[in-house]
Structure 1
């Protein structure tokens, strides 16, 4: 059973925030600084000795990838606002210029810490027989092997370039990594500046022959230094540096674009050529080279970061090697729900028995794929409708939809072209679907469609039955291995009608007027949430139990935060699990005394969105109202995207969400960070010498309630509470 101790734990003593304007902008935490705080938590997992060594290296790489995206989108946007002279403050009162100053300071500290951690991890890796060498550490046998590697795998794709008036400075793409050189001709001492752009198709770390468990690698830049004579015959190197650029990667699309696909294809080319927003360059690089690079790339000094260490820390993911399982998380195989096995793998039979909620990655995402593959092959299925926000390159879901269309079924696919960094993949998928005969629509030009819905209409006897899938995450089989998400399957007629109305809205712009179990943004969801906050406040004022539990990735929408503050002040006990950005201030006297916030950062990426209301009976209780959603509580999700909020009424599904998923998240100690009133997070205090509950381990070891099947759910651990 899951301990109910967290339910009975007293709220921390509320704190004062001297000088903060809690009636004004001071009641909010800045979005960008909160995001940086999340990335600090990711980075600190790279120092967590309870995490296997190569997984710590992976966390370091992820922190760098996250920071790159933050710069190419968020920082790029703030720079543009500053350039245009915008001084309108964010909700927390900071102008774009003020935010950029604070971001720069915090991000530079974070990048410096990344290098320190890398140095420590490199030493630990050496102790574990994984070596990242320099050219000076190579043996003669290594050099002979690398000569072959360079000649056949590297040299053919390199384009060494002189930098002079006859050779214009080349375009360096976003995330482009380059080698710059100062050379001297041996026969007459004539100097030459040169550039060596490094194609992203070449591995950054070259494996060397190894024996046993030993693994050895050489960074690509070291290999290039070994072979300068072949790239620039007759020259000697007198100075060199490496540099990497990040460019503005946000997309702008003309609202009146006649052909949305063509407009996005053009916009993707513009992204590649966006302005440089950050350049990292080797510390102690030759001054003349640095000046040339900055001038040609139009980079100002404040956009330059000198790195005494490895440039491109995100590339360290190449060193997380499967051949050393002793340094990785123990292997985990997702479960097939027992109820699906009871029905011989037939998804429709399993769903028809009763509603089913799968918790990924603990239950395999293959069940979602099977649902659509079975629909494609079933002669009784007449129609399939599907939203696609992100999916894999060779998506089995897209293949199933194509197979269904080619078999003569009516297939409608809503493909969202505005899924950041997946636009090109989604264009490719939409072309593939169209060729198969599917009807492809793109939703709204000015709103993203972020809802995760799939419907299958099946002829059963004299009736048509709609089987519906609502998800909290994307239809992406690869990310579903590491993202925690929920898949809700039902053949409830009301939820089927609701889904059909949403699809009609997306394809025909006819706003649904009477949804039965569903709320959608941008039309009704935010108002409904605010009404539920107020309903809990009414219960508190009347002396009834009043509670809200919620879980999501981000919480920054000002109206929602103010609604939670009002509920807290009325006496509602509010527990929030917010993985990333959080703009609310918990535990502030007179403002949020009844609000607690935690963040979970661990083996899996918390991604599911859940909200539970005590409904006058407290939590957990059978009378509570329980919802899953595709939406975080952000302005973009609630005001500018099509999203879903689905109420679950099946008692077993509700118990699974409240007594298993939310209870385990709230009870977690091993991977939890607690938010302080000033916006910072501190690690949860672990019980000294005692077992620290880990929700990810709990879910890996225990089946979910609603997928339990004929074995029954009696032995499935859930939250116990004295009052139940």
Structure 2
């Protein structure tokens, strides 16, 4: 083992290329004929949204590195230039497959009585309806922008959809007599404030849509009176969103607002343009935006499929969506009259979205109104638009509690939302912390300090996921409730570290990034190696979103080479290359992409028969281990550890939505559609748990062992 160079680039997959493989797995859900039709449109929307963010951040960063002459290789031995070439080829191929899938879905949708049609296909009644709609609703918000010597190419907003219009005037407008006979160019932005999919009155039992940009194009002559329209080309620009934030600014809130404005004006990264569109328009756009042919994506269909995310809500077509799976009551809190009393009895666990998020909301709301609660401290990374969590914290402050909210303003693409919540909480009298310079606070922590008869007691909710009741119905996460003093001391110290000036303590239970989290993980991995050397068995099971940290991967390779069995469940990017002789032959990597977004992070270490299981919001990525505040916490009570092992084993047994990573970086389906779908299994388990408890209660009631108060 000492002779093996575990740092060899042959053993690593470029993380950017790994991300493309992940988005291809999402696309596969749209291509899967067993997925309900409207849900397939939703997956296409997710693919488009994922790609937007990836281009704005990751591809933009590569282009910036190439522009600055940066040539350092990544752990896979590739320079930014080499990564960019491979990456763009893969993305172009993926976009082509995406739109081929879209065209097939449109055909299937038409069979169900829902169609997208051209203006020319409409009857006179429908055309009159759209004429009125254009005149009354669309035209007032349109602003055609000419491009000439006195009016340079406009600074189009990031992700805005536009029409590039090439014109000519034989008569010449009175205002511009010198333009007679010249070719002119103008841009018309498709207003994002209006619905992209315009519903058209149709025949009975039929739903008709027309795209907003198609409708605008049909009436363009009304915007350019006196000019002849030579061509119309639809296009969309994606800009760099990886702009710098001045964290040393005196007013971070104000600086963040300026940062958001700068992000809208970042340099162009990608041009999506209508396939078969006007060549002169394409050349003008490429020249004006300083983009190469690699940056241009010719789209065979409507540009930007993100509006189809809400297509699953199409009224009257529920049979084309997933069967509703309403979250079950959390079995750990069933029949518990008071949430503080329940947590005081023992630690509790809730598995979302299979179990309800209600216990989390109940804990915060109860704390806001409980006269015995003295203080509440909470980290907030991503919350919903109408957050009951924020409302409860504001109510707690109004009730005289000492409330501290650490809102991470730098949560990418949620900054605007978090700014608004920060202001609301400040106005309510909460002490608001905006995060730390150079670090994002990503840990999911809630601490409640309560005065009880026997003294101060600290109640905690520690989670793998955000305090967001909406995503808690879409993301798989695990949260633990505890009031153990050893945990309370650690979490209190961590909050003191984040909100004030305090040296890190000797942690009793938790490990914290960027202080000692990577070191703790590597020690746990090394401990499995020692178990094997001592003649025992070593086993690691790790579930996470991404695995790209080279130091962790190197430790896993060493463990595999020593004979440790390693099962990795990695939803997204994975830079580890499994199946390499003498290096990673004992490592298996699977990825589950299904109805819900796999989001929980669970880490299991056999520990010579005394298993250790941890939860955290941290992936095995440098950003989580070095540039974020994360907390790793152990789950100690046996019945909770058994539940977590059940989760891990069920994930590993998935043969429907799981794909296995191959040594060449590709993924292969584990089995067929007749096997185990882990997400459906979890829902059935949640039903069984609560069903057993209800049955037990009913049985006790029938035998008279229950007492009910009048």
The normalised TM-score by structure 2 is: 0.93
SS in 1 for 2:137: helix
In structure 2, the residue matched to 1:241 is: 233
In structure 2, the residue matched to 1:680 is: 666
In structure 2, the residue matched to 1:224 is: 216
Work out the CA distance in 1 between the residues paired with 2:693 and 2:296.
Answer: 62
Deviation at 1:26, TM superposition (A): 1.3
Work out the CA distance in 2 between the residues paired with 1:351 and 1:704.
Answer: 22
Q: How does 1:459-608 map to 2 (within 5 A)?
A: 459-608=451-600
1:152-189 Cα shifts (integer Å, max 9, x gaps): 22122111222223433222111011011123447568
Q: Of the candidates 643, 666, 686, which is equivalent to residue 652 of structure 2?
A: 666
SS in 2 for 1:296: helix
After TM superposition, the structure 1 stretch with the greater mean CA deviation from structure 2, 625-634 or 416-425, is 416-425
Q: Which has the higher contact order (CA 8 A, sep 6+)?
A: 1
The alpha-carbon distance between structure 1 residues 210 and 371, as it changes in their structure 2 partners (threshold 3 A), is: farther
SS in 2 for 1:686: coil
Is the counterpart of residue 204 in structure 1 residue 196 in structure 2?
yes
Q: CA RMSD in A?
A: 2.0
Deviation at 1:707, TM superposition (A): 7.8
Q: Of the candidates 333, 337, 340, which is equivalent to residue 340 of structure 1?
A: 333
1:173-211 Cα shifts (integer Å, max 9, x gaps): 110110111234475684542210122212211012246
Contact conserved, 2:6 with 2:557, CA < 8 A, in 1?
no
Is the counterpart of residue 398 in structure 1 residue 398 in structure 2?
no
Is the counterpart of residue 170 in structure 1 residue 154 in structure 2?
yes
The alpha-carbon distance between structure 1 residues 705 and 401, as it changes in their structure 2 partners (threshold 3 A), is: farther
After TM superposition, the structure 1 stretch with the greater mean CA deviation from structure 2, 627-636 or 162-171, is 162-171
In structure 2, the residue matched to 1:269 is: 261
Work out the CA distance in 2 between the residues paired with 1:21 and 1:59.
Answer: 41
Deviation at 1:125, TM superposition (A): 0.9
After TM superposition, the structure 1 stretch with the greater mean CA deviation from structure 2, 346-355 or 357-366, is 346-355
In structure 2, the residue matched to 1:133 is: 117
Contact conserved, 1:389 with 1:416, CA < 8 A, in 2?
yes
Contact conserved, 1:671 with 1:694, CA < 8 A, in 2?
yes
Work out the CA distance in 2 between the residues paired with 1:368 and 1:709.
Answer: 23
In structure 1, the residue matched to 2:128 is: 144
Work out the CA distance in 1 between the residues paired with 2:354 and 2:378.
Answer: 24
The alpha-carbon distance between structure 1 residues 704 and 123, as it changes in their structure 2 partners (threshold 3 A), is: closer
The alpha-carbon distance between structure 1 residues 709 and 630, as it changes in their structure 2 partners (threshold 3 A), is: farther
In structure 1, the residue matched to 2:356 is: 364
> Which runs of 5 or more residues in structure 1 are unaligned?
1-19, 618-622, 715-724
The alpha-carbon distance between structure 1 residues 707 and 407, as it changes in their structure 2 partners (threshold 3 A), is: farther
1:316-354 Cα shifts (integer Å, max 9, x gaps): 32433331111100112111224434024x322322232
In structure 1, the residue matched to 2:107 is: 123
Contact conserved, 1:338 with 1:709, CA < 8 A, in 2?
no
Q: Of the candidates 31, 37, 41, which is equivalent to residue 21 of structure 2?
A: 37
Contact conserved, 1:356 with 1:706, CA < 8 A, in 2?
no
The alpha-carbon distance between structure 1 residues 106 and 29, as it changes in their structure 2 partners (threshold 3 A), is: same
Work out the CA distance in 2 between the residues paired with 1:322 and 1:512.
Answer: 53
Deviation at 1:217, TM superposition (A): 0.6
Q: How does 1:308-327 map to 2 (within 5 A)?
A: 308-323=300-315, 324-327=317-320
SS in 1 for 2:461: strand
The alpha-carbon distance between structure 1 residues 114 and 710, as it changes in their structure 2 partners (threshold 3 A), is: closer
Deviation at 1:656, TM superposition (A): 0.5
Contact conserved, 2:422 with 2:432, CA < 8 A, in 1?
yes
Q: Of the candidates 628, 632, 635, which is equivalent to residue 622 of structure 2?
A: 635
Work out the CA distance in 1 between the residues paired with 2:201 and 2:224.
Answer: 28
Work out the CA distance in 1 between the residues paired with 2:276 and 2:74.
Answer: 38
Work out the CA distance in 2 between the residues paired with 1:702 and 1:214.
Answer: 40
Deviation at 1:471, TM superposition (A): 0.8
In structure 2, the residue matched to 1:12 is: none
Work out the CA distance in 1 between the residues paired with 2:310 and 2:196.
Answer: 8
Contact conserved, 1:205 with 1:318, CA < 8 A, in 2?
no
Work out the CA distance in 1 between the residues paired with 2:299 and 2:319.
Answer: 32
In structure 2, the residue matched to 1:13 is: none
Contact conserved, 1:337 with 1:709, CA < 8 A, in 2?
no
Work out the CA distance in 2 between the residues paired with 1:259 and 1:711.
Answer: 54
Work out the CA distance in 2 between the residues paired with 1:587 and 1:126.
Answer: 45
1:348-391 Cα shifts (integer Å, max 9, x gaps): 23222321111111112232122111111111111000001111
In structure 2, the residue matched to 1:701 is: 684
Contact conserved, 2:190 with 2:213, CA < 8 A, in 1?
no
The alpha-carbon distance between structure 1 residues 309 and 21, as it changes in their structure 2 partners (threshold 3 A), is: farther
After TM superposition, the structure 1 stretch with the greater mean CA deviation from structure 2, 125-134 or 447-456, is 125-134
Q: Of the candidates 652, 664, 675, which is equivalent to residue 692 of structure 1?
A: 675
Deviation at 1:697, TM superposition (A): 0.7
SS in 2 for 1:274: coil
The alpha-carbon distance between structure 1 residues 651 and 22, as it changes in their structure 2 partners (threshold 3 A), is: closer
Contact conserved, 2:332 with 2:349, CA < 8 A, in 1?
no
Contact conserved, 2:237 with 2:270, CA < 8 A, in 1?
yes
Is the counterpart of residue 83 in structure 1 residue 70 in structure 2?
no
> Which runs of 5 or more residues in structure 2 are unaligned?
173-179, 698-710
Contact conserved, 1:186 with 1:235, CA < 8 A, in 2?
yes
In structure 1, the residue matched to 2:408 is: 416
Contact conserved, 1:551 with 1:577, CA < 8 A, in 2?
yes
SS in 2 for 1:46: helix
Work out the CA distance in 1 between the residues paired with 2:585 and 2:443.
Answer: 34
The alpha-carbon distance between structure 1 residues 169 and 215, as it changes in their structure 2 partners (threshold 3 A), is: same
In structure 2, the residue matched to 1:294 is: 286
SS in 1 for 2:607: coil
Work out the CA distance in 2 between the residues paired with 1:495 and 1:444.
Answer: 23
